[in-house]
Homo-oligomer: A and B are copies of this chain.
């Protein structure tokens, strides 16, 4: 890729052609199953990418914080789901109230106390905001046990909130061999909560699930919408989980070989790239081969990251890149990378055609 020579490294590069293909394919796959697509925008935090997802048929966006929702509402996005069990303080309630005046807003809740506090803080505006009860489908992070969904819904109802359904995040799908099992647990948990909520007279018509590893597996069963995020770019985790191929990678980090050690001298045969954790992020599941992958060099292993250095060990039989050489690195977890940079270079047809701001970067609350 000739653009590699045109940037200052480390530089995040988005291949817009691959991005558009990923967006179109996921939209078609989800629509083909009669599901609604509500992509998680925390992955990219970019207005231009949100526009492309909505143009391809997404019903709205998923975000993780009120701050992210504000950025996309300012841009005109009309339907926003904060898929997070918010604990609402007065200042946040005021922001949520303003947000709900200009967009359809739904939020998560996973406890009686959370629902009660939210209703009280929102006061008169509570009815404008739909709450979805978060349930735990096996990831064991947030989310109520499915058998407690009615208890949470009842508290929400008492607090003046409008119950709109359930959601779950099958995050345990991010491991080898797990996507199919995780999607089955996800559907079972959604089914259990839906049955209980419906029997108790609550609206469970919106049932939201899905992550990138499971979204394409989700059948027309219990879930009515899916919230994949990473699919727009792909990353080394999805690659190693075989949920995407090398040709589906839309985001890479251009990096320069700044140190090179071909002889042993008691240390590994390696190059050091300037793409440290400041741009690749440090996420590294135990099953990953390293801290990302090097495009065109599947044999290379990123064995260590510090903030400004990526140590890449090369096997003896493969020629070691030279000093100053530019390589393209795929981060393990692309959401982390996007949250580290203020803007990205956009490539189409092998040329830099644009720069996009990461508009919702750092909107931590």
Contacts and interface: CB of A to CB of B under 8 A. Distances in A.
Interface in A318-365: 322-324, 335-336, 339-342, 362, 364-365
B272 A365 contact: no
Contacts of A258: 84-87, 114, 142
A311 interface: yes
Identical copies in the complex? 2
Interface stretch (A98-106, A176-184, A243-251, A277-285): A277-285
A8 interface: yes
Nearest to A86: B258
Interface in A253-287: 256-261, 265, 267-268, 270, 272, 274, 277-279, 281-284
Given A42-B307, A282-B336, A311-B141, A342 B362 contact: yes
B8 A91 contact: yes
Nearest to A308: B64
A75 interface: no
Interface of A: 8-11, 42, 64-65, 84-87, 89, 91-92, 110-111, 113-114, 117, 136, 140-143, 145, 171, 256-261, 265, 267-268, 270, 272, 274, 277-279, 281-284, 304, 306-309, 311, 322-324, 335-336, 339-342, 362, 364-365
A268 B142 contact: no
B117 A324 contact: yes
A1 B272 CA distance: 43
A365 B268 contact: no
A304 B141 CA distance: 9
A261 B365 CA distance: 23
A256 B65 contact: no
